[in-house]
Amino acid sequence: MEPPPALTPVDAAELAARVFAVEGPAAPLDSERDANFRIDSGGRSFVLKVYNSAELEDVVEMQTRAMLHVAATDPELPVPRLTRTREDALHGVVEIDGRQHAVHLIDFLPGECAEPDSFEPEALRVFGATVARVSKALRGFFHPAAERTLLWDMKQAAGLRPFLDDVEDSARSDLARRALDRVEERLLPALPRLRAQVIHNDLTYDNVLVGGDGNVTAIVDFGDTTHGPVLCDAAVALASFCLEPHLFERVEAFARGYGEITPLEEEEVELLADAVSARLLASALIAASRVRQFPENAEYINSFVPRTWQVLELFDDLGPEEVRRRFRTAAAPALAWPPQARPRSHPRVEELLERRRRLFGPAMMPLSYERPLHFVRGEGVWLFGADGRRYLDAYNNVAAVGHCHPRVVAALATQARFLNTNTRYLHETALELAERLIATMPAGLDTCLFVNSGSEANDLAWRFATTVTGGSGAIVTAWAYHGVTAVQTDLSPSEWVAEHRPDYVETIEPPGGQTEVASSVAVAVGALDARGHRPAALFLDSAHTSSGIFADAPDYLAGAVSAARTAGAFFVADEVQAGFGRLGSHMWSFETGDVEPDFVTLGKPMGNGHPIAALVTRADIAEEFARRAPPFFSTFGGNPVACAAALAVLDVIAEERLLENVTQVGRHLRAELDELAVRHRVIRDVRGCGLLVGVELTSADAARDVANVLRDRGVLIGLTGRGGSVLKIRPPMVFRREHADLLLEALDEALGKAR
C-alpha cells in the first residue's frame, strides 16, 4: 500500500473549490490510508475524501455507486449524499506529488464514533439491525470491481500468514498461527456455500456513527466494499464489539437486532465464531504489518489492537469448541425460524376457570390470589396478562435469570433442532454440565446424576441414603417442603393434613426457636429409634424457604448437621429453592454454614423453567449404592436439550454477574424493608438475605390481604411459613434496584391497608 496522500488543510480547501465548486475552510479528519477533511461552506459541512493512490478508479466508482444504491433502496438509512464534480462526475481525479488520486465529496453527517463498551444492549440491538439493513439494501447491487482482491476480505484470510512474522510478541504470534490454522481448516472451505452478495465489509463502530441517544446517525466509508458472504458483514461488525465484560451478552444483543431484519441460516450461525475470530485476527496482523511499514502512524494504527489481542487470547483460553458453543447459543436469536402462528384472542377468565374446574378436578391446588391471573407472556422480571397489563414478578424463582431469557430460549431451540436423546448415549452437554456443577461444589462432591425435578432429586437422595445407611428414618424442619412424590410428601410437613404424620419422619423447629438445635436433633433421633427407625438422612433447605425464610442462620445449620451425622444420618442439602446464587453471597445456601453435604439436590431454577434437576454426591456413596441396588437411569434426566438450557443458565449467571446483582439489590431491599418495619406495626420481623426475603406479619389474614393488594397494584409475591403469615419475596435474580423500589412503594401502600 502507498502512504496516505500528503495534503495540508489549505491544499484540501483549494481542491474542494477547484473540483467541486465548494468553498470553505478545511480541517483534517482521522484516516489510516486516505486523506479526509471536513469542509464548512455556506452553512453546510462536507467530507472531502482523497483516496490513496493505490486505490483503482473503478473501485472508487463502485464505492460511490454502492452508497447511492443504499440511499435509494432504503432512504431512511442515514447514508451521506454525494456532491458531483464541476463536470457532473461522481468523483474527480487529482495529481499530488506526481501520483493520481481519486477524490469525492459527501455530506458531513452528525454523530460520533462511540466507544464500543458504551453500547447498552438496546443500542447494540439497533446497531445489529442497522448492519442487516445495509446488507439488505445492497442485495440488488453489483459492480465488476466487487471481485477485486482485498486484504480485508475474509475470503483472503490465508494471505495473512506472512504477517505472522510482524508480531513481535512470540506468544501472540503462536496464538495467531493457531487461530489462522483453524480459519483455513474450517471457515475458508465453508464460505463458498454461504449466501453471498456485495457487502459493505466494514460496518464497525468507527463507520456507523451514533448520536447522544445511541441511535445511528450516519453510515460512512464504503472503502472496503466487496463481494462476499452476508455472514462476513455481520461478523466484521460484531467483531468490533467483542470485548469483555459481557462479551456473549453483546453477541446476543447484536444478533437479536440483526435477526429482526435478516435471519441467519443454521450454517451461518455455526460459522459465526470462526468468522469473528478471522476478523479479529486480520485486525491484529494487518496492524502489526502496517506499524512496521508506517511507524510514524503507529499510535493511530494500534489504537484498537490491545483489546483485539485480549479477545483472541480469551478465545484461545476457552478453546474453539467452547467459543463456538457460546456463539451458537448467543446468536440463536438471529436464526431463521418458521413464521409464527397468527395471534389469537384469549378466552375470558370465567371460561378458563370453568374448564379448569372440570378438567383438573378438586385435587389440584387452588389458584393464587382472590382474583385469578391469566398470563400470556413473560420477559425478565415482568409477566404480562391477557389484558395487556404487566406485573412485576417478585416471587417466581423458577425463572432465576429472568422469564424467557433469550440466551436460555436460544440454547433450548438450537439444541432441539439437532438432537434430543438420553444418557444411555454419549453427549457432551450432560458431561459439561456435570463438570461445571461439580466445580462449584466442595471438593468431596464429585458425582452428578440428572433427573427432571427437585422432587425426583430429593427422592433419589432418599433412595441413596436408605440403601447405603440401612436406616429408614428422616429428620426435617417443621413446615418444610421437599417435593410432590409420595415419599417427599411424607418429608414435607407443610403438606401434611391433620391425620397424616408418617412414623418414619421427625421434625425439628427451624431457626428462631428456643431449643438448641443439636438437642432437638437428638430428641428426634430418640423418637425415631423408639418407633424402630434408625435415621438415614437429615433433609434441610438451608434457607428454610418454606418454613418462614431463615437464610442467615449458619450456627443452626452446622449444629443440626453435626448432630445428625453423630446419629449415622446423611445430610441432604435441598437447594431447589435457594440455590444458584439466590443469597448473593454464595452459589449454594449450605455454604453459609461452612458444612459439606453428603447430597446436594438441585431443581427449579436450574433450567430457568425447563424441567431439569440434579443430585450431586460423593463417589464413595455412589459406589456403595451401586453394590447394593440396581443402576440408576432416568429417561429424560440429562437429555441434551435440558442440559443446554442449564448450561445457558450458568453462562448468564456468570456473564451478567448475577450474584453481585443479588447482593447489591438484596442489601438495598433489606434496608428499605427494615425502614418499613419501623413505620408499619403489622410487620413482626424481616428476615433473609440476597433476593430471598421474608416479611413476617402479625397474622396470616394480614399477609393474604397484603398479597392481594399487591396483586391489584401489579406486583406478585408469595406467602410462606406456618399458616402463611410470612410474605415471601423471591424474584428472578435479574431484579434490579429500580424493580425493588417499585415493590417497596407498592408494599408500603399495601401494609397501610392491612388488618
Tell whether the torsion through CA atoms of 244, 247, 249 and 252 is positive or negative: positive
Residue labelled with grid coordinates 437411569: 633
Q: What is the DSSP letter of 636?
A: S
pLDDT the model gives residue 570 = 98
Name residue 123's amino acid. Answer: A
Contact 478, 533 (CB under 8 A): no
Q: Are strands 26-29 and 35-41 parallel, antiparallel or unpaired?
A: antiparallel
The pair phi, psi for residue 536, each rounded to 5°, is -100, -35
Find the CATH number of the domain harbouring 706.
Answer: 3.90.1150.10
Do the beta carbons of residue 175 and residue 311 sit within 8 Å?
A: no
User: Quick one: pLDDT at residue 337?
Assistant: 54
For residue 144, being part of any structural domain is answered with yes
CB atoms within 10 A of CB 438: 16
Instruction: Give the pairing type, strands 505-508 and 473-477.
Output: parallel
Q: Is the CB of residue 378 less than 8 Å from the CB of residue 714?
A: no
User: For the domain that residue 81 is a member of, what is the CATH number?
Assistant: 3.30.200.20
- What distance in Å separates the CA atoms of residue 90 and residue 65, rounded to the nearest whole number? 8
Q: 538 and 506: one domain?
A: yes
Positions of E strands within 285-402: 375-379, 382-385, 390-393
707 within 8 A of 718, measured Cβ to Cβ = yes
Number of domains observed in the structure of the chain: 4
- Of 654, 685, 714, which closes a domain? 654
Beta strands in 349-468 (DSSP E): 375-379, 382-385, 390-393, 447-451
603 and 467 share one domain: yes
Q: Angle 525-530-535 (CA atoms, 0-180°, nearest 5)? A: 35
Residue in 429, 436, 402 with CA at minimum distance from that of residue 656: 402
440 and 494 assigned to the same domain: yes
Query: CA-to-CA distance for 57 and 637, rounded, in angstroms?
Result: 64
| 299 and 447 part of one domain | no
Predicted pLDDT at 345: 56
Q: Decide if 356 is inside a domain.
A: yes
Q: Which helix (H) or strand (E) holds 208?
A: strand 208-210
Q: State which of 73, 107, 141 marks the end of a domain.
A: 107
Query: Do 144 and 74 belong to one domain?
Result: no
For 556, the domain range is 407-654
Q: Which residues have C-beta within 8 Å of that of residue 192, sequence separation ≥ 6?
A: none
Asked whether 184 and 274 are in contact (CB, 8 A), the reply is no
Q: What pLDDT does residue 647 have? A: 96
**Is residue 286 domain-shared with residue 197, that is, in the same domain?**
yes
Q: Which CA distances in Å does 456 have to 104, 113, 463, 541?
A: 71, 54, 10, 15
Q: Are 20 and 105 in contact (CB under 8 A)?
A: yes
583 and 689 share a domain? no
Query: For the chain, first and last CA: distance in Å?
Result: 81
Burial category of 360 from C-beta neighbours within 10 Å (exposed 0-12, middle 13-18, buried 19 and up): exposed
- What pLDDT is attached to residue 77? 93
Same domain, 321 and 376: no
Residues 122 and 87 in one domain: no
Whether 516 is covered by a domain: the verdict is yes
CATH of the domain at 522: 3.40.640.10
Q: How far is it, in rounded angstroms, from Cα 271 to Cα 276?
A: 9
Distance, in Å, from the CA atom of 291 to the CA atom of 496, rounded to the nearest integer, reads 76
Q: Could you tell me if 249 and 154 lie in one domain?
A: yes
- State the number of CA atoms in the 13 A half-sphere of 167 facing the CB: 23
Question: Can you give the pLDDT at residue 357?
Answer: 87
Same domain as 468, residue 356: no
Which of 107, 142, 162 is a domain's end point? 107
640 in a domain, yes or no? yes
What's the sign of the alpha-carbon dihedral 152, 157, 161, 164? positive
- Give the CATH number, domain containing residue 278: 3.90.1200.10
Residue 620: inside a domain, yes or no? yes
Distance, CA of 121 to CA of 380 (rounded, Å): 14
What does the alpha-carbon distance between residue 613 and residue 631 come to, in Å, rounded to a whole number? 18
266 and 411 together in one domain: no
Q: Does 704 reside within a domain?
A: yes
Q: Is residue 463, in this structure, part of any structural domain at all? A: yes
The DSSP H or E segment spanning 728 is strand 726-729
For the chain, 755 residues long, the average pLDDT of each consecutive 10-residue run is: 85 95 93 88 93 89 93 93 93 91 92 82 90 95 92 94 92 95 95 95 89 84 93 95 84 90 90 96 91 77 81 92 87 66 59 86 83 86 85 92 91 89 90 96 96 96 97 95 94 87 94 81 96 97 92 88 96 96 94 93 94 97 95 91 96 93 96 95 95 95 93 92 92 94 93 81
Q: What CA–CA distance (Å, rounded) separates 544 from 696? A: 14
**Is 163 within the bounds of a domain?**
yes
